[in-house]
Amino acid sequence: MSLSEKLHAIGRPLLQAQLDHPTVVGIGRGDLAEPVFRSWLEQDYLFLLDYVRVFSRLAWQAPDAHLRDLVDLAHATYHDELNLHRSLSAEFGADLGGVVKGPACAAYTGFLLESAASYGEGLAALYPCMWGYSTLGQILAENPPSEPRYRAWVDTYADPGFAQLAVRIAEMIDEADLDPARAEEKFTEGMAHELAFWSVP
């Protein structure tokens, strides 16, 4: 079993806790209260700005074979994923310019930026976001919400192109010189931050 496969095995029960979270349930049904999603959008926008910084910090350390992937991931996050947030924020009346990080966002981004000081550990720390959202999107897309704004969110993370980005991170984890115990520790901590982030509102 590869290291990424071991992380998946650790992550599946932790991912189920996200699927059971009221915020995710509400997105999946399309009836999540708008103020809750608006607050989540604002915090996730700030999170993604730092996520781009994490990719950039890792790119500086990356072996040549991984450099393009990390630059592409930073680009896709900044342009594609953040554009979705800008679009949805306009529809939900979110204030992207005036928002400040809440405790969950600050804790998660601090963890990621600190972990990115080590190349392999940084990959393991950020993987819960990539793998988790791709998997959540695919599961929610099996019975997607009819509400068009929540459907757009589900479609973004269920997209096969996004799934390929997550697969590539898994391959990079397997190719990196990374202590398995440290990888599992970072991955598990990242999954805990993911779950906490759904309670942002």
Sequence spans of domains, the chain: 3-198
The dihedral built from the CA positions of residue 44, 16, 107 and 165, taken in this order, carries a sign that is negative
Q: Alpha-carbon distance 27 to 40, whole Å?
A: 11
Determine the pLDDT at residue 201.
66
* DSSP designation for 81: I
Q: In the prediction, which pLDDT does 200 show? A: 80
Whether residue 132 contacts residue 191, with contact meaning beta carbons closer than 8 Å, is answered with yes
Rounded-to-integer distance, Cα 73 and Cα 164, Å? 11
Helices (H), the chain: 3-19, 22-29, 34-61, 64-76, 82-92, 103-115, 119-141, 148-158, 160-175, 180-197
pLDDT confidence of residue 103? 96
pTM: 0.94
Q: How far apart are the first and last CA of the chain?
A: 38
Q: What is the pLDDT of residue 81?
A: 87
185 with 115: CB under 8 angstroms?
no
Spatial separation of the C-alpha atoms in residues 116 and 111, rounded to whole Å: 9
Q: Quick one: how far is CA 67 from the chain centroid?
A: 20
Q: Which residues in the chain come in under a pLDDT of 70?
A: 201
What whole-number distance in Å separates Cα of residue 172 and Cα of residue 153? Answer: 27
The CATH fold assigned to 3-198 is Heme Oxygenase; Chain A (1.20.910)
Asked if 17 and 75 touch (Cβ cutoff 8 Å), the reply is no
